[in-house]
């Protein structure tokens, strides 16, 4: 089945030790997103790629970087994880950047299962 796959599902790192989370999609969607979700909170958008066009949210710390080497893959790099970066990281895709279209619901975000990051 077409889907969004995140690896690893669980990642434990030490304070300051770089981490890379990966996301792959078989939906052939143009847009890929990275969200951070802390415990009992809503997902917060970090950045997204429309094809190779990178869009950073204004309040995303410089500590977070992303790479999209091809349509199918997108990576989240956390250069120096702090205790406050412990969270679930969600990858999502959408067919295009508008997020609306026909039929209704056809272009909403499709999420992966997430990568839970623990920082010791």
Partner 1 sequence: GESVGLHLPTLSVQEGDNSIINCAYSNSASDYFIWYKQESGKGPQFIIDIRSNMDKRQGQRVTVLLNKTVKHLSLQIAATQPGDSAVYFCADLARLSGGYNKLIFGAGTRLAVHP
Query: Binding residues for partner 1, per CB under 8 A?
Result: 4, 40-45, 50, 55, 90, 92, 97-100, 104-105, 108-114, 116
Comparing CB distances to partner 1, the nearer of 60 and 79 is: 60
Least distance in Å: CB of 72 to partner 1? 18
**Measured distance CA(44)–CA(12) in Å, rounded:** 21
Residue 83: φ, ψ to 5°: -60, -30
Closest CA to 64 of 100, 29, 42, 35: 35
Q: In the chain, what's the furthest Cα-to-Cα distance?
A: 46
Least distance in Å: CB of 15 to partner 1? 24
Q: Locate tokens 């429309």: which residue?
A: 50
Least distance in Å: CB of 2 to partner 1? 14
User: CA 53: distance to chain centroid?
Assistant: 15
Least distance in Å: CB of 19 to partner 1? 19
**Measured distance CA(37)–CA(86) in Å, rounded:** 9
Comparing CB distances to partner 1, the nearer of 81 and 114 is: 114
Comparing CB distances to partner 1, the nearer of 4 and 119 is: 4
Comparing CB distances to partner 1, the nearer of 14 and 40 is: 40
């Amino acid at each position: 089945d077409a889907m969004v796959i995140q690896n690893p599902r669980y990642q434990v790192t030490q304070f300051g030790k770089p981490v890379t989370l990966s996301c792959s999609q078989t939906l052939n969607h143009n847009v890929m997103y990275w969200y951070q979700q802390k415990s009992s909170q809503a997902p917060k958008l970090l950045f997204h790629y429309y094809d190779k066009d990178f869009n950073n949210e204004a309040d995303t710390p410089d500590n977070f970087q992303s790479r999209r080497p091809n349509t199918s893959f997108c990576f989240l790099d956390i250069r120096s994880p702090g205790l406050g970066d412990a969270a679930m990281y969600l990858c999502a895709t959408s067919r295009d950047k508008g997020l609306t279209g026909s039929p209704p619901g056809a272009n909403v975000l499709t999420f992966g299962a997430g990568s839970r990051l623990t920082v010791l």
